[in-house]
Amino acid sequence: MAYNKAREEKKWRLWKEAEEKQLRSLGVNEDDIEKLRVHDWAIFNSDRRYYQRVQETGTYLDELVEDTTQPEVKTVEDFLDSIENQHLYQVLIKVDRLTLQIALMKIEGYSTREIAVYLDITEKAVYRRMDRLKEKLKKLFE
């Protein structure tokens, strides 16, 4: 929710008036009450600046995140197109499509069992293909 200075200032003034009324009833000197008011007002303004900066920063970061989000990868071809590292791309274009489909589904968060059922293969086959792909990638990054 956006920071509303007018609303916050109104709340502060009501709180301050109630506090000053209580201080007067306790016999606190008017000079001390005024010093406290000036001090509390400075704190209020400091907090206001902070909350406005946080709001502006949050808005900026939200816009930045929207600008940098990657398009959603739906197919193996989209997956290959999204790879920027040339060495990784060269390794992955030599891998069979079924293994790439498994890798893509793993990236999307599917479990091994879900992948096996969807692709009509055994779970062991999913594990074997992923292990082989990992070995190829290890060689690339050594």
* Domain boundary, last residue among 37, 52, 68: 68
Q: Pick the more confident residue, 57 or 6.
A: 6
| Residue 20: pLDDT over 80 | yes
- Same domain flag for 63 and 88: no
| Amino acid of residue 61 | L
**Cα distances (angstroms) measured from residue 50 to each of 5, 22, 62, 70:** 12, 29, 18, 32
| Residue 82: pLDDT over 70 | yes
What distance lies between CA 123 and its chain's CA centroid? Answer: 33
pLDDT digits (tens, 9 = 90+) for 100-112: 899 888 888 899 9
Q: Do the beta carbons of residue 110 and residue 118 sit within 8 Å? A: yes
| Residue 120: pLDDT over 90 | yes
State the pLDDT confidence band at 53, using cuts at 50, 70 and 90: confident
- Same domain flag for 19 and 47: yes
As a whole number of angstroms, the distance between CA 118 and CA 101 comes to: 11
pLDDT score recorded for residue 136: 86
As a whole number of angstroms, the distance between CA 91 and CA 10 comes to: 64
- Same domain flag for 95 and 50: no
| Amino acid of residue 60 | Y
Domain of residue 80 covers: 76-140
Which two tokens mark 101?
């489909």
- Same domain flag for 57 and 41: yes
As a whole number of angstroms, the distance between CA 71 and CA 69 comes to: 7
Q: Pick the more confident residue, 70 or 141.
A: 141
Q: Do the beta carbons of residue 69 and residue 61 sit within 8 Å? A: no
pLDDT score recorded for residue 72: 65
The CATH number of whichever domain residue 108 belongs to comes to 1.10.10
As a whole number of angstroms, the distance between CA 86 and CA 103 comes to: 18
Where does 26-134 show beta strands of DSSP type E?
none
pLDDT score recorded for residue 51: 78
